[in-house]
């Protein structure tokens, strides 16, 4: 889904750019769900189930979730990077918040 979106928003720049952006974003989206989830849960475990630990875990996970696609698209030379990664950032942020909230509640009880 995210790869298709990245390809679509970069299709104005030619088929090669659309394919590179789509494959880059799609590959990242596949791997990032596992990576960011593990990172978020590990950070909360290390920082503790406190409100501050919850916020810091979210911010650290968001930074990772943002930096990887920026790096991938920089290497690929994607032109419309922010448009390509926006859906993943929006949905990914919600996903991270949900996972952390569940872990936070589970650790406090």
Q: Report whether pLDDT(109) > 70.
A: no
Report the C-alpha gap between 80 and 71 in whole angstroms. Answer: 13
Output the six-digit token pair for 32.
Answer: 């990032």
Output the six-digit token pair for 100.
Answer: 């952390």
Question: Has this prediction a pTM greater than 0.85?
Answer: no
Confidence of residue 18 (pLDDT cuts 50, 70, 90): confident
Tens digit of each residue's pLDDT (9 = 90 or more) over 36-90: 999 999 999 999 999 999 999 999 999 998 998 899 889 888 888 898 888 888 9
Q: Report whether pLDDT(35) > 80.
A: yes
Within 10 Å of residue 88's Cβ, how many Cβ atoms? 23
Report the C-alpha gap between 76 and 17 in whole angstroms. Answer: 8
């Amino acid at each position: 889904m995210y790869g298709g979106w990245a390809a679509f928003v970069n299709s104005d720049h030619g088929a090669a750019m659309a394919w590179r952006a789509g494959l880059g974003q799609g590959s990242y989206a596949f791997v990032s769900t596992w990576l960011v989830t593990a990172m978020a849960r590990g950070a909360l475990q290390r920082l503790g189930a406190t409100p501050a630990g919850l916020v810091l875990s979210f911010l650290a996970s968001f930074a990772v979730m943002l930096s990887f696609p920026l790096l991938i698209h920089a290497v690929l030379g994607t032109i419309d990077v922010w448009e390509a990664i926006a859906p993943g950032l929006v949905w990914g942020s919600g996903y991270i918040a949900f996972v952390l909230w569940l872990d936070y509640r589970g650790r406090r009880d």
